[in-house]
A = this chain, B = another copy of it.
Amino acid sequence: MRIVVDAMGGDYAPANVIAGVVDAVKELSVNITLVGQEDLVKAHLKKYSFPKEQINIVHAPEVVGMDDNPIDVIRRKRDCSMVVGVNLLKESGYDAFISAGNTGALVASATFYLRMIEGIDRPGIGLVIPQINGYACLIDVGANADPKPEHIYQYGHMARVYMQSVMGVKEPTVGLVNIGEEEGKGSGFDKQTYQLLQEKMPGFIGNIEPNKIFTGKADCIVCSGFVGNVIIKLTEGFMESAGAVLKREIKKNPVAMLGALMMMGTLKGIKKNVDYSEYGGAPLLGVNGIVMKSHGRSSPKAIKNAIRAAMREVEHKIIEKMQAAIIS
Q: Does A321 contact B (CB under 8 A)?
A: no
Partner of A226, one of B146, B190, B246, B270: B190
The count of identical subunits is 2
**A145–B187 CB distance below 8 A:** yes
With both chains docked as a complex, state the minimum distance between the C-beta of A275 and any C-beta of chain B, in angstroms: 13
Q: Does A220 contact B (CB under 8 A)?
A: no
**A240–B266 CB distance below 8 A:** no
With both chains docked as a complex, state the minimum distance between the C-beta of A244 and any C-beta of chain B, in angstroms: 9
**A231–B229 CB distance below 8 A:** no
Per-residue interface assignment for chain A, residues 256 to 268, with 1 indicating a CB less than 8 Å from any chain B CB and 0 otherwise:
1011111101100
Given A146-B187, A179-B229, A234 contacting B211 (CB threshold 8 A): yes
Find chain B residues with CB under 8 A from A256 CB: 262-263, 265-266
**A253–B234 CB distance below 8 A:** no
Name A's B-contacting residues (CB within 8 A).
67, 132, 142, 145-146, 177, 179, 182, 185-190, 209-215, 224-227, 229-231, 233-238, 240-242, 245-246, 249-250, 252-253, 255-256, 258-263, 265-266, 269-270, 273
With both chains docked as a complex, state the minimum distance between the C-beta of A195 and any C-beta of chain B, in angstroms: 16
Find chain B residues with CB under 8 A from A265 CB: 253, 256
Complex-state Cα separation, A186 to B145, whole angstroms? 6
